[in-house]
Amino acid sequence: MNNLVVKHNALTNASYNLDLVEQRLILLAIVDARRSGQGVTANNPLTITASDYAQQFNTTRQASYLALKNACENLFNRYFKYAEGSKNIKSRWVSQIAYIDAAAQVELIFSPAIVPLITELERHFTQYAIEQIAGLNSAYAVRLYELLISWRGTQNTGLIELAELRKRLGVEPDEYQKMSDFKRRVLDLAVSQINEHTDITASYEQHKAGRVIIGFSFTFKLKKPEKIEKKKAAAEKPNDSDTEKREALSQFVGYQQRAKLLNEPIEKLASKKELAQFKKFEFM
């Protein structure tokens, strides 16, 4: 049991070294494993589609696929370390990645060392939690949310020493060395996004030894269900500009395919009005 906890902590800490899209990629892979019923293994690829990413994180299918491809490339080179008894183990996150351009989807296979630990990570990110982080565009906010919900029982983290907090949030030693910058660019930003977009309301308190800040503690409360539903309804309210852009992108992709088949430029196939719209959204 102690080894499992150590491994879980190593995996959770490793997730803090991933950027925002890489974290989202892993979470969607976990969802795919659950949804398909195949589970997470070291042999079977998990599929993440651009459509799923676009729907979950409110972006375009084209932008989603590019983000997923880049995240896969980066994730393939990521590794983490953990201790198991007297052994210091270094492992990659994934053993294989693949792109399927025609279907706008990516596949990944988790490395053997990761597979037994995924269940522990999954406990912190149910489908409901993934919906909660959909509105977070700061990697620090996602990391802090994960940290906080692991204390859902007490809703209080207790004192976390500054060096440990920076490590848990993925702040590099040479980043935000001034305390004012750390609080403004990391903590305040993360707390603001969490309070705006998730199911909890959080705050923090700084702790000092003399005049020096040595760490922080966080408390949070679960929002009432009606408040969550109101925010969700507001977020899902159609945006005319976004709808217009999505429809224009769909048309543009269609013209791209026809232009390739007919070996003709898009300018000869689309109307002046459509071309103006494509240029408006900088598709061409």
Query: What pLDDT shows up at residue 240?
Result: 56
93 touches 75 (CB < 8 A): yes
pLDDT at 227 over 60: no
Query: What pLDDT shows up at residue 261?
Result: 58
The range of the structural domain enclosing residue 259 comes to: 240-280
Per-residue pLDDT band at 187 (split at 50, 70, 90): very high
Full 3-state SS string of 191-228: HHHHHHHCCEEEEEEEEEECCEEEEEEEEEEECCHHHH
Residues 75 and 162 both lie in one domain: no
Q: Which of 125, 158, 189 is the last residue of a domain?
A: 125
Q: Which residue type does 202 have?
A: A
Establish if 154 belongs to a structural domain: yes
Per-residue pLDDT band at 130 (split at 50, 70, 90): confident
Pairing of strands 87-92, 94-100: unpaired
Residues 90 and 201 both lie in one domain: no
pLDDT at 253 over 70: no
Residues 266 and 251 both lie in one domain: yes
- Better-scored residue on pLDDT, 240 or 60: 60
Q: How many CB atoms lie within 10 A of CB 84?
A: 12
- Better-scored residue on pLDDT, 117 or 26: 26
DSSP lists the bridge partners of residue 100 as 105
Task: Dump pLDDT digits (tens) for 41-64.
Answer: 888 899 999 999 998 888 898 899
Q: What is the mean pLDDT of residues 208-228?
A: 88
pLDDT at 8 over 60: no
The answer for residues whose C-beta is within 8 angstroms of residue 39's C-beta and 6 or more apart is 33
Per-residue pLDDT band at 4 (split at 50, 70, 90): very low
Q: What is the mean pLDDT of the chain?
A: 80
Q: How many CB atoms lie within 10 A of CB 15?
A: 22
User: Residues 34, 38, 44, 45: what is their CA dihedral angle, to the nearest 10 degrees?
Assistant: -40
Establish if 162 belongs to a structural domain: yes
- Better-scored residue on pLDDT, 74 or 11: 74
Residues 19 and 63 both lie in one domain: yes
Write the Ramachandran bin of 77: left for phi over 0, alpha for psi from -120 to 50, otherwise beta.
alpha
Share of the chain above pLDDT 90, in %: 36
Q: Which residue type does 88 have?
A: N
Number of H helices, E strands in the chain: 14, 8
Pairing of strands 105-110, 79-84: unpaired
Number of folded domains that form the chain: 3
Establish if 132 belongs to a structural domain: no
- Better-scored residue on pLDDT, 212 or 247: 212
Query: What pLDDT shows up at residue 31?
Result: 78
Residues 199 and 269 both lie in one domain: no
Q: Which of 69, 100, 125 is the last residue of a domain?
A: 125
Of the candidates 149, 153, 114, the one whose C-alpha atom is nearest the C-alpha of residue 129 is 149
pLDDT at 1 over 50: no
Return the CATH number at 220: 1.10.10.10
pTM for this prediction:
0.64
Residues 104 and 17 both lie in one domain: yes
Q: Which residue type does 65 have?
A: Y
